[in-house]
Amino acid sequence: MASEKAKELARKQKEQIRAEKLRKKNSDDPKDWGRWRQFTEAYKRTNEIDPSTRWWMLGVAVGVIVVIAAIGLLTNLAWWAWVPLALMSALLGAMLVLTRKARTAMITRYAGQPGSAEVALQMLNKRRYSYDLGIAATRELDLVHRVLGPGGIVLIGEGAPGRTRKLLSEQERRHGQVSYGTAVTTLMIGDAPNQVKLGDLQKRIEKMPKVLAPFQVTEVQSRLKALHLRNQMPIPKGPMPTPKGMNRAMRGR
């Protein structure tokens, strides 16, 4: 009797394992994909936007192999020593090219759409920076986002400049009431003068002068949570584009 129950339990476990494998195989969530599928999906999406991706990857890979092969031959190094190194280095070089191209492609794809700032904000160092999307909005989907990090509080606006600057000014005033001297910087996404291009947003934030130590960032974050609860503003209905799938594919998560 016990043996029959054990067999039945083992059968059910095998069925569950098969069902889970099938679910992951047909899943559209990058978290369920294997490394190879993540790589191929990222390549396909990037190449759709920038067809030169394949040639850059191939060129870098071939160049790396040629350089290492030349060094190996000139130094009379055994082939079994430099061939594996050349292949692995070529693969690494191609993946680095794909990573850079994928980031550029994501920015090109989402630029000008509501919520596009998330493309750049996802590239920030998660250990040093945190961000909140859409802390203020209009019905026309003009948005204000917030970043907290060593550079203090950064409020980022995207949308029609007239409406968005009004939102930014209001949020700057509210944040100034709870920041207790912490720097509050406002940035506007766009291509016009005095605006920050989407592709430059990450670097602009990371290059800001450091005004907060890690423990101070934690303190300010607690104050901002209280501010968010008091002044919580409903986001207009309707989905905002999310580039997380492509980004996760590149990060292997």
Q: Indicate if the pLDDT at residue 108 is higher than 70.
A: yes
Which single residue is written with the structure tokens 């043996």? Answer: 3
At residue 224, does pLDDT exceed 90?
no
State whether 140 and 91 are in the same domain: no
Same domain, 152 and 227: yes
Determine, yes or no, domain membership for 6.
no
Give me the DSSP letters along 138-156.
-TT--EEEEEEETTEEEEE
Task: Assess whether 140 and 163 both reside in one domain.
Answer: yes
pLDDT at 99: 86
Domain match, 124 and 219 both:
yes
Average pLDDT over residues 130-142: 88
Q: What is the pLDDT of residue 67?
A: 93
Maximum CA extent, the chain: 80
Looking at the fold, whether 156 and 200 belong to one and the same domain comes out as yes
Specify the higher pLDDT residue, 64 or 242.
64
Q: Under DSSP, is residue 158 helix (H, G, I), strand (E, B) or coil?
A: strand
Decide if 3 is inside a domain. Answer: no
Are residues 225 and 132 part of one domain?
Answer: yes
Number of domains in the chain: 2
Cβ contact 155:175 at 8 Å: yes
Do 176 and 223 lie in one domain? The reply is: yes
For residue 56, name the pLDDT band (cuts at 50, 70, 90). Answer: very high
DSSP run (H or E) holding 184: strand 184-188
What pLDDT was estimated at residue 33?
65
Which comes out higher in pLDDT, residue 65 or 34?
A: 65
Query: Is a pLDDT exceeding 70 seen at residue 240?
Result: no
Token reading at 56: 């850059």
Kindly state the average pLDDT of the residues 220-225.
Answer: 80
Q: Could you give the CA distance from residue 16 to residue 42 in angstroms, rounded to a whole number?
A: 29
- Whether 174 is covered by a domain: the verdict is yes
Asked if 208 contacts 151 with a C-beta cutoff of 8 angstroms, the reply is yes
Quick one: 106 and 123 in the same domain?
A: no
Q: Which of 91, 110, 129 is the last residue of a domain?
A: 110
pLDDT digits (tens, 9 = 90+) for 1-17: 557 777 777 777 777 77
Domain boundary among 67, 91, 110: 110
Residue 2 within a domain: no
Any domain includes 62: yes
Same domain, yes or no: 136 and 226: yes
Boundary (domain end) residue, out of 85, 110, 135: 110
pLDDT of 252 reads 45
Is 85 a domain residue? yes
Structural domain that includes position 66:
33-110
What pTM, to 2 d.p., does this model score? Answer: 0.67
Length of the chain: 253
Q: Do 54 and 135 fall into the same domain?
A: no
Q: How confident is the model at residue 147 (pLDDT cuts 50, 70, 90)?
A: very high
Could you tell me if 123 and 219 lie in one domain?
Answer: yes
Q: In what side-by-side order are the strands of the sheet with 184-188?
A: 130-137, 143-149, 152-158, 184-188
* Range in 81-85, 164-168, 175-179 the model is least confident about: 175-179
Give the confidence band of 79 by pLDDT, cuts at 50, 70, 90.
confident
192 & 140 share domain: yes
pLDDT band (50, 70, 90) for residue 175: confident
